[in-house]
Structures are given as C-alpha cells and as structure tokens.
Structure 1
Amino acid sequence: MRKITTCLWFDGRAEEAAEYYTSLFPDSRITGVQRHTEAGPGEPGSVLLVTFELAGQQFSALNGGPEFTFSEAISLSVDCADQAEVDELWAKLTDGGEESQCGWLKDRYGLSWQIVPHELPELLNDADPAAAARVMKALFGMRRIDVRALREAAGR
C-alpha cells in the first residue's frame, strides 16, 4: 500500500471506469473490488470501491453518488514517448469524451487528462526565447498535440 493514493469519485460507474483505464496503459491492473454489505448504505453486493494501478501508480474509484463531479481543476497528465502514443491515447480517451486545447481532454466519465509528448517541455524551454514563444503560440492553436508542428515552430 502506498502512502498517497488518488481517489476518483464516480456515480455508479467506478468498476467500468477502472476496467477501461486499465485497458489503456501497460503495467495496469485492478487490484481489488469492495462491495456494499448488508450494513452499508448501498445496495448489498453493489460496488463501493475499486482499487487499481495505472502504469504502476495506485488509484481508487469510489461509487460515491451524484453529489460531486469532475472538473478541470484536477487532471491526469500522461508523459507520452512519441506522436504515436499521443495519437493512440488521444483517440481512446476522446472516444465518448471531448477535446479541449493544448493536449487536454475530458474522457467519457468527465475526468480531465493531459496527453503530453515527452519532447514538449524541452521545446517550451528552448534556449532561444523567440523559438520557445513560437512553440507556445503553436501549442495554443492545437487540441491534440502535433510534435512535428511544434518542432517546426521551434525551427528544428
């Protein structure tokens, strides 16, 4: 058990979401499912909490009800090795979700993600301030991040 675990609040779809998320990333798995008992507030046998790992990081998904929903105030950021990984995750996570800008999206459950190519911080921190500014300007015009277009903006 890790000291800190991110808990995600769902309205009845915690197990479905955990199964979906673990299908997207290598080194991911569901580690436990806790069900309501006769003494609990939920329907006996229904899922209360799902624990799972995404790329080795621990999460829990709680079926807490409709009181709270996700907002952009929290997001999961994924460091992608290359354009192919960006494209694959973007396609899977926007399926039933919605695109935003600068590599941000909301998935089908309303959770915000940042799909970020590993090269982006290097391009944004270019030693040439003009090149970095061009990269930032190009980035703000994108939804799914296009690494080649960012490289071109940097003059590479």
Structure 2
Amino acid sequence: MLTNPGGEQRPPVIPCLLFGGNQQNQAASALEYYGKVFSPSHAGGLYTYPEENGSVTSGAVMFSDIELAGNWFVLMDAAAGEAEFSEAVSYEIRVGTQDDIDYFWERLSAVPEAAVCGWVKDQFNVSWQVVPDSIEDLMLSPGAWKKLQAMSKIVIADFSD
C-alpha cells in the first residue's frame, strides 16, 4: 500500500492485522513485540497518524509492515469501526522441535482458556497455531486424535505413549 515499489520486494499476498476495538492503538506495541519473538525479523515501512483521527490517537500506526521469520505482515490501527481478532483467522507456526514449540508457546500464549490443540492467543488477541513439522506423521500414531484433543500445548513425546 505505502511501500516503496522500487525498494525491497514484497510477496503478492500479505496478511494484515487491523487493531481496533479492545486492541485499538496497539499496532506499534505488536510490531515491537513480534519483532522480538520471531527471528529473523525486519521492519519495513512505518507511517503514523499525524493527529487524532476517529478512534486512533496521534502517533498510532496508519500503516506498517514487518518481515517475521521470512513472512511479511502488515499492521495497522483501525481509524473506524470495531475490528476485532478471532479464531476465524489464525497464523500457523511450523517448528522442528519441542524446544521450538515451548519457545513460541511461552511468548504467545496469553489467554490460557483459548489454548487447545496447539492454538494460542497472544496479548493482542491474535490466534496462532504452534505445530511441529512432524504433525502429519504424529497424527498417524494410534489414538493420535484423542491425544491431540486432550492437549493445550502440543507435546511431541505424548504421541508415542
């Protein structure tokens, strides 16, 4: 939208996180937080509202983009409306080891009652799925579906019980 067309390339489809409602004016905090959680990260453009505009405060994020572990995201504060995050849209994080699962779980799980089958909600109410690369193979083990349903955080070793 506001990126430099002659500058760094962006993919043709980029998810956009619109912070409104209870998360209004949280896009800048989310940019900083996600930049620390995901590695490598790389900030793109950042454009802020010059003055209060509807439900946004001066300095809130009009448009920003950031590369998180090789994937671009756009983050914006909503100028109007009651945009809210829900489980209807989530982002899957594929990881290699239990340590990787634990890493993301510790940083992104902020709503304990939302944690089920590897799904978490972060402090901004954004839903993530923290899933091992081996999930397809794990789901072939006896009783895998029942085991997965009983888990909040996926524990790879529990599939071999």
Give the TM interval when normalised to the shorter protein. Answer: 0.7 to 0.9
1:35 aligns to 2:44 (yes or no): no
Contact preservation (8 Å) 1:14, 1:49: no
Matches of 2:16 and 2:61, distance apart in 1: 15
Deviation per residue, 1:2-26 (Å, 9 max, x gap)? 2111100111010110111111111
The alignment partner of 2:104 has SS state of helix
- Could you tell me which runs of 5 or more consecutive residues in structure 2 were left unpaired when the two chains were aligned: 1-9
2:143 corresponds to 1:121: no
Letter in 2 for 1:60: V
Q: Shift in Å at residue 31 of structure 1?
A: 1.1
Which amino acid letter does the alignment assign opposite residue 58 of structure 1?
A: W
Percent sequence identity is 31
Paired residues of 1:102 and 1:143 also in contact (CA < 8 A): yes
Partner of 1:57: 71
> Which structure has the larger Rg?
1
The one-letter amino acid paired with 2:25 is G
State the AA in 1 paired with 2:65. T
State the secondary structure of the residue aligned to 1:136.
helix
Q: Give 2:118's match in structure 1, choosing from 84, 93, 103.
A: 103
2 CA distance for matches of 1:136 and 1:43?
Answer: 46
CA offsets, 1:16-71, max 9 Å, x none?
10111111111212212112246x76555442122101111111101005611001
**Which whole-Å deviations, capped at 9, do the CAs of 1:63-106 have from their partners, x for residues lacking one?**
00561100100101000110001011101111x33342100011
